[in-house]
Amino acid sequence: MPDLIRMENIIKNYGPVQALSGVDLSVGEKEIVGLLGDNGAGKSTLIKVLSGAVPISSGKIFVRGQEVTIKSTTDAIGHGIETIYQDSALVTQLSIARNLFLGREPYKGPAFLGRLDEEMMNAVASDLLRKVGISKNIPPTTPIGALSGGERQAVAIARAMHFDSDLIILDEPTNNLGVAETQGVLNFIRGARESGHSCIFIAHNIHHVFQVVDRIIVMRRGRVVADDIRPGNSTVEQVERVITGMDEHVPV
């Protein structure tokens, strides 16, 4: 069976600066992959390429063995790739429920009549908020602008949970989250495999990564320097040494 996602020899240049230098990366079906590296390692650039936020300079991307062209976020979503950035854009004036369904709103009767199914959106929103660990009774009609930073991030996580994507990319999803919200996100990642999803999990907190992933990939200076670290066979300290360049080898 081919990998769900395979990226080959990905190069991204910003003028004379090469942000990605021939990166190869793969994610299997129902696999949870941790993507680690110091600031400037190239993680965010690689994810932006895969999510269609920035174009590649050269290289190939395959989805289930078929080469695809990803030039926009719409292309990525069409190929089953959903990305949650640390600063996921939400419309502050709209409610939690409206943000969850933004661009994919359900209607009662013909769509041209414009009758949103607000009852369904509110019910789904309430259920999803509980799943991502928001224990407070926040009405789904609450405007995003009234939420804390952690609560807004949880709403972005909830949006990806509802729309079944093959690959969900989470870029620093636990930043600014409380303990309960963080556990909700980690539980979501753990459950993604069972529900048929694959995930790429980017985080600075290596302990969070070790709790949920099958495999760890480490980037440094625009290159992949390790791609098959197994949490069960290595330690946080060993991975930290690879990230910083103090060590090149970790038990796999």
- Per residue in 12-67, pLDDT (tens digit) is 999 888 999 999 999 999 999 999 999 889 999 999 999 999 999 999 999 999 99
d(CA 218, CA 22): 14
The per-residue pLDDT of the chain, averaged, comes to 87
Asked if the model's pLDDT at residue 89 lies above 80, the reply is no
**Sequence spans of domains, the chain:** 5-90+164-244
d(CA 74, CA 51): 9
pLDDT tens, 94-125?
999 998 888 788 888 776 777 888 999 999 88
Is pTM beyond 0.85? Reply is no
pLDDT of residue 182: 82
Q: Sorting pLDDT into bands at 50, 70 and 90, what band is 249?
A: low
46 CB burial (10 A radius; 0-12, 13-18, 19+): buried
What does the pLDDT average to over 202-218?
93
CATH 3.40.190.10 holds for 5-90+164-244: no
